[in-house]
A and B are shown apart, each in its own frame.
Chain A
Amino acid sequence: MFRLLWHHLAKTPPSPPIAAAQTDGHAGEAVLVRPLPDGWCGTSVHMRHVDCGSCNGCDWELSALLNPVYDIQRYGLDFVASPRHADLLLVTGSVTRHLQEALTMTYEATPDPKVVVAVGDCACGAGPFSGAYACGTGAEDHVPVHLKIPGCPPSPAMIIAALRALLK
């Protein structure tokens, strides 16, 4: 175990700085579609992810934020296990019929003031399967969305750049 620890401390590069807009051609700009709520602190933001029917591409890019390369905690952002502990909800997926209730309940369980971020084309209402019978039409039809991060999926660097814009 010490050999592994030493190898990773000594042989692997430190986390690189994230350029402000490191987009990779699949993703447009993130859009603030609703003003941030009154009393939004924005200095130490705890986030809760809600999968509402994504293909898991966006989900894996969100979990990549925790790896040593992106290391999202250094920006004052972190993931929490319960919506009760969260300031911000990250919604992925088109909100399928089977997950509408789960999204609404998660939103109601989150204390105010809260911010909702739609991550990926599906959650932003522009998913590839819109019109399918169980697919849903994006997060905005169920909860008030503040920030949209388009992309299929948006890259981790792009997600970080967009989330940092919410910090004060």
Chain B
Amino acid sequence: MIRKVLSAWVSLKSDRQGNLWGTVLPEQGPEVAQVVHGQLGLPLTMMVAVDERAKSGVYRLTYLFSLIDKPAFLALEMAVDGQAAEYPSWTPAVPAANWHEREARDLLGVVPVGHPDPRRLVLHGNWPHGYHPLRQDAPSEVAATAPRRFSFRPPGEEAMQIPVGPIHAGIIEPGHFRFTAVGEQIQALEANLFYTHRGIEKWCEGKPVMTVLAAAERLCGVCSLTNSLAFCQAVEAIAKVEVPPAARYGRVLLCELERLYNHIGDLGNICAGTAVALGTMAGTRIKEQLQQLNDALTGSRFLRGILVPGGLRRPLAAEGIDKVLREVRRDAAMLADTLLGHASFMDRLDHTGIVDRATAWRLGAVGVAARASGIDRDCRRDHPHAAYHELRWQVPVHQEGDVAARLKVRIEEIEQSLSLIEQARAALLAMATTTTTTMKPGDWAAVIDEYPAGRGWGVAESPRGETVHWLEIDAQGLVSRYRVRTGSYANWPVVVAAVPGNMVPDFPLINKSFELCYACSDR
């Protein structure tokens, strides 16, 4: 079907994993984008640009779309001339490409002609013109220039602008928000993010795979496990390695533990946004209990240092976790029931920060944000990995798209996570008793002796949504390009769209209902 529809522009080849690959001419890009996204309805997963001027005189851009009827992807490649360094933008046809194309312009200097927003995204105003750090010939360090301020759109008549950040009032990450408001009513919101941009992707170039694994775990604190999982899966796709069953079930267990402590912590945060101190304290207490469980199980409160390409670093001692999880199940249910049954609390949440289905789809929302707006997507089910396809679970979906819907999706996902953890734990215990009493290394990690050259990607569902890591390994076994698109990166434009029409004091609540990270979006 896809081959036939696209045959006028591109001939597609499929690879071992069922992914479709094709090469698009730059001048035909917008047309193809219109067909792929508008007509076939495939969502954009990520775009990655690579400087290949030294080898072939071009920048190679790859647009990765998710197939909706198969658990695979469509990768459309495009060679952009290295001298001219410009191509017709896909963003008018695929709005979700907006940030990807602006990022490629900042970091590689490849200009999307016809892009609706020509402002900088990743690099702020204190970098010299013409400095594109991800170009292969870019100096590794340049001096800062005098800051040029980000040009926010001017407010209309009788409206005022409220600047907020980058340093906020609470213990949270930095970002600048510019509200245009008439009285209490917000007319428009613009976000200037990437304050925590560190240049991690460039830092990873030329480094061995295991060094980059440690970097993947430190992109973000609270998505550490998902990021390392997506990275490991990218390596495994390149090395064509099968992960042993014990490790696959262990990965499900760990990934759901991460979702659990984040989602329950966010129940508490939503309470902080509505000044329900009792709920805040209940949420943070259960979250602490879960982080201590993480520590006991893996030696890290953020589940770091346990995954490795090929499996797990060591077997999980999962026998004893059921006592804590029984308490968590009881306490989280009580917290959720109390909140959902409290009229004055729910009154703040209903009809606040609405994202309708069309907006969520257009902007490429993922994760809880998508599922609360009626989009039934979850890459744990749609792009099966670890052992998710062998377990019984459901993807909760709500239609309303408001803060209440996002809270309800989270509450239902907490139940699903607890069920998945229980099933994965039972499977692990059964494996340990039926094979031998102690697990052998081969049961929980396939050995990868050397990393072959190639490129691939890994997908995992973080508590914020679908997270994709694109990886290229060169002939020396070193990483030559690494790009990360986390759930937060995909969802930030959705937050901005959710806010207009609401009151200024509801912004923190709306923001908390998305619960996005800045660090793994900024990198």
Residues in chain A within 8 A of chain B (CB atoms): 1, 3-5, 7-8, 12, 24-26, 49-64, 66-70, 79, 81-83, 93-94, 96-102, 106, 128-129, 131-136, 152-153, 155
Q: Are B285 and A68 closer than 8 Å at their CB atoms?
A: yes
B173 within 8 A of A: yes
6 A-B residue pairs with CB within 8 Å: A1-B342, A4-B335, A53-B197, A55-B219, A56-B173, A106-B167
Q: Are A25 and B287 closer than 8 Å at their CB atoms?
A: no
Q: Are A8 and B196 closer than 8 Å at their CB atoms?
A: no
Which residue on B lies nearest to A47, using beta carbons?
B171
Q: Are B221 and A153 closer than 8 Å at their CB atoms?
A: yes
Which residue on B lies nearest to A25, using beta carbons?
B299
B338 within 8 A of A: yes
Q: How many residues of B contact A (CB 8 A)?
A: 58
* A21–chain B nearest beta-carbon distance, Å: 17
Distance between Cα atoms of A55 and B334 in the complex (Å)? 32
Distance between Cα atoms of A133 and B284 in the complex (Å)? 36
Of the stretches B139-147, B356-364, B422-430, B489-497, the one at the interface is B139-147
Q: Given A4-B334, A24-B295, A67–B287 Cβ distance below 8 Å?
A: yes
Distance between Cα atoms of A17 and B203 in the complex (Å)? 42
Partner of B169 from A55, A59, A81 at Cβ < 8 Å: A81
* A125–chain B nearest beta-carbon distance, Å: 14
Q: Are B196 and A68 closer than 8 Å at their CB atoms?
A: no
Q: Are B338 and A8 closer than 8 Å at their CB atoms?
A: no
What is the 8 Å Cβ interface bit string for chain B, positions 151-186, against chain A (1 contact, 0 not)? Answer: 000000000000000110111111000000000000
Q: Given A56-B519, A79-B171, A97-B126, A133–B142 Cβ distance below 8 Å?
A: yes
Distance between Cα atoms of A57 and B144 in the complex (Å)? 27
Cβ contacts under 8 Å, B284 to chain A? 63-64, 66-68
Q: Are B173 and A51 closer than 8 Å at their CB atoms?
A: yes
Q: Are A56 and B167 closer than 8 Å at their CB atoms?
A: no
**Which 8 pairs of residues, A with B, have the shortest CB-CB distance?**
A57-B221, A67-B284, A81-B169, A132-B199, A132-B203, A56-B221, A133-B199, A134-B199
Most buried by B among A1, A24, A25: A1
Given A67-B284, A94-B198, 4 extra CB contacts under 8 A: A7-B334, A26-B300, A49-B171, A96-B197
Distance between Cα atoms of A133 and B338 in the complex (Å)? 48
Which residue on B lies nearest to A105, using beta carbons?
B167
Cβ contacts under 8 Å, A135 to chain B? 198-199, 203
Distance between Cα atoms of A152 and B200 in the complex (Å)? 17
* B81–chain A nearest beta-carbon distance, Å: 26
Partner of B291 from A3, A7, A12, A64 at Cβ < 8 Å: A64
Distance between Cα atoms of A14 and B485 in the complex (Å)? 41
Cβ contacts under 8 Å, A68 to chain B? 281, 284-285
Q: Are A102 and B174 closer than 8 Å at their CB atoms?
A: yes
Distance between Cα atoms of A24 and B279 in the complex (Å)? 29
Q: Are A129 and B203 closer than 8 Å at their CB atoms?
A: yes
Q: Are A4 and B338 closer than 8 Å at their CB atoms?
A: yes
Most buried by A among B126, B133, B194, B221: B221
Q: Given A50-B167, A82-B169, A129–B288 Cβ distance below 8 Å?
A: no
Q: Are B124 and A8 closer than 8 Å at their CB atoms?
A: no
Cβ contacts under 8 Å, B517 to chain A? 56
Q: Given A4-B335, A64-B284, A155-B301, A102–B215 Cβ distance below 8 Å?
A: no
Partner of A67 from B141, B285, B518 at Cβ < 8 Å: B285
Cβ contacts under 8 Å, A96 to chain B? 195-198
Cβ contacts under 8 Å, B190 to chain A? none
* B219–chain A nearest beta-carbon distance, Å: 6
Cβ contacts under 8 Å, A69 to chain B? 285, 288
Q: Are B197 and A59 closer than 8 Å at their CB atoms?
A: no
Q: Are B338 and A3 closer than 8 Å at their CB atoms?
A: yes
Q: Are A62 and B218 closer than 8 Å at their CB atoms?
A: no
Cβ contacts under 8 Å, A102 to chain B? 166-167, 174, 195
Distance between Cα atoms of A131 and B202 in the complex (Å)? 10
Cβ contacts under 8 Å, A3 to chain B? 334, 338
Q: Are B195 and A56 closer than 8 Å at their CB atoms?
A: no
Q: Are A60 and B221 closer than 8 Å at their CB atoms?
A: yes
B282 within 8 A of A: yes
Partner of B221 from A59, A82, A131 at Cβ < 8 Å: A59
Q: Are A5 and B278 closer than 8 Å at their CB atoms?
A: yes
Cβ contacts under 8 Å, A55 to chain B? 218-221, 519-520
Cβ contacts under 8 Å, A66 to chain B? 171, 284
Cβ contacts under 8 Å, B281 to chain A? 8, 67-68
Most buried by B among A1, A55, A68, A133: A55
Cβ contacts under 8 Å, A93 to chain B? 196
* B157–chain A nearest beta-carbon distance, Å: 31
Cβ contacts under 8 Å, B519 to chain A? 53-56
Which residue on A lies nearest to B285, using beta carbons?
A68
B444 within 8 A of A: no
B331 within 8 A of A: yes
Interface residues of B in 273-326 (CB under 8 A from A): 278-279, 281-282, 284-285, 287-288, 291, 295, 299-302
Distance between Cα atoms of A97 and B285 in the complex (Å)? 35
Distance between Cα atoms of A4 and B203 in the complex (Å)? 48
Q: Given A67-B284, A153-B221, A59–B300 Cβ distance below 8 Å?
A: no
Q: Are B171 and A134 closer than 8 Å at their CB atoms?
A: no
What is the 8 Å Cβ interface bit string for chain B, positions 115-148, against chain A (1 contact, 0 not)? Answer: 0000000011011000001000000111010010
Q: Are A131 and B285 closer than 8 Å at their CB atoms?
A: no
Q: Are B218 and A128 closer than 8 Å at their CB atoms?
A: yes
Cβ contacts under 8 Å, A100 to chain B? 144
Cβ contacts under 8 Å, A134 to chain B? 123, 133, 197-199
Most buried by A among B133, B147, B173: B173
